[in-house]
Amino acid sequence: MSFAENLRRLRKEKGMTQDQLARQIGVGKRAVIGYEIEGRYPKKHDIYQKIADALGCTTNDLLTDTDQFVAKAQEEYGSRGRKQAEDAVNTITGLFAGGELSEEDRDEVAKAIQDAYWYAKERNKKYAPFRFRDSN
């Protein structure tokens, strides 16, 4: 199950509305709708813990390994990083559509590709052009 599906299921099991959850975790109802229906991820990592606390579960109950990878990419590198991570996940999923590998082997390959992604992002930081910020 995806983060969106897990969130919706756990919220309903707890008997909470989207509005109640939003108020409890300190975001707008629109944000919760975005998480559940539009497949968005919280922009700040601490929101996952607030959601887990509100729903009486752990962050692992909310997030798959893929969700954690995408969320970390978004937190570290913004929307562009999220998009690149999602593209990597979609490519990986396409590679395994034939079902030739065992579940354990697929997980190992996916982890290796994720590790390569993080390595490339860190390595490329030193080549990124310096950008001036407007202090106003």
Query: Which of 65, 73, 64, 56 lies closest to 10, judged by CA?
Result: 56
Residue 133 belongs to a domain = no
- The encoded tokens of residue 123 equal 């390595």
Q: Let me know whether 73 and 101 are in one domain.
A: yes
Q: Let me know whether 27 and 70 are in one domain.
A: no
pTM score of the predicted model: 0.63
Q: What is the extent of the structural domain holding 82?
A: 65-125
Query: Which of 35, 109, 43 lies closest to 81, judged by CA?
Result: 43
**pLDDT at residue 129 is higher than 60:** no
Residue 86 belongs to a domain = yes
Q: Let me know whether 72 and 94 are in one domain.
A: yes
Q: Let me know whether 69 and 121 are in one domain.
A: yes
CATH number at residue 48: 1.10.260.40
- Distance, in Å, from the CA atom of 77 to the CA atom of 17, rounded to the nearest integer, reads 31
- The encoded tokens of residue 85 equal 């991570």
Q: What pLDDT shows up at residue 131?
A: 46
Count CB-CB contacts under 10 A for residue 67. Answer: 19
Tens-place pLDDT, residues 37-86 = 988 888 887 899 999 999 999 988 888 878 888 888 888 888 888 888 88
Decide which of 39, 62, 85 is a domain's last residue: 62
- The encoded tokens of residue 116 equal 């390569």
Number of domains in the chain: 2
Q: Let me know whether 44 and 80 are in one domain.
A: no
Residue 16 belongs to a domain = yes
Angle at 5 between CA 41 and CA 86, to 5 degrees: 45
Tens-place pLDDT, residues 25-49 = 999 999 999 999 988 888 887 899 9
Q: What pLDDT shows up at residue 99?
A: 61
